[in-house]
Amino acid sequence: MKKVACLLADGFEEIEGLTVVDMCRRAGIDIKTASISDSLEVTSSNGITVKADCKFDDIKFDEMDMIVLPGGGLGTENLEKFAPLKDVLLSFNEKGKFISAICAAPRILGDLGLLKGKKAICFPGLEGRLTGATIMSNEKCVTDGHIVTARGMGASVEFAAAIITQLLGAEKAEEIERQVQFLI
């Protein structure tokens, strides 16, 4: 079974994070939400408090197939300030393990140099932080190698589907996408 860690920081955009969790669980992916704080309770950008499955330190990253970084301005700032995340991201990148980020969060990847030579997208206005990337401004979601990036909340379903595609293939992603879009 594929394993994913969705990292939650206070101020995260709940639709971006929880849509991924919902769709991945529907697909049979073992996805855990992990709080980067000392508390399992994480408050979203819109004041919704959710209880994470575990804390960052409880995740065995060597067993994870992917890391998901939801956006949200404050959530992304809090992820950026969390020093242990940088080492995990650099390790994942070095090993070619999957990394995904949406909205403001791709700027973390850009600041670490992980987008150099990659196609990527982020929340409009933050493109300057995608250091070395080819900006795909007309796309909602972009996959380039082991990295998935997406524009923002309105691309959450496409983002989750891209994650499922990376882990389980396009057929499974399309099946789950149809489920959440009520078979339209």
pLDDT digits (tens, 9 = 90+) for 74-100: 999 999 999 999 999 999 999 999 999
Tell me which H or E stretch contains 108. helix 106-111
CA pair distance 77, 59, nearest whole angstrom: 21
Q: What are the tens digits of pLDDT across the range 31-68? A: 999 999 999 999 999 999 999 999 999 999 999 999 99
CA pair distance 123, 13, nearest whole angstrom: 12
Give 41's strand partners.
51
- If DSSP codes are grouped into helix, strand and coil, which group holds residue 138? coil
Residue 8 structural domain: 3-104+155-180
Q: Is residue 141 part of a domain?
A: no
Q: Is residue 176 part of a domain?
A: yes
Closest CA relative to residue 94, chosen from 66, 67, 114:
114
Q: Is residue 137 part of a domain?
A: no
Q: Is residue 11 part of a domain?
A: yes
**Tokens read off for 165:** 């595609």
Number of structural domains the chain divides into: 1
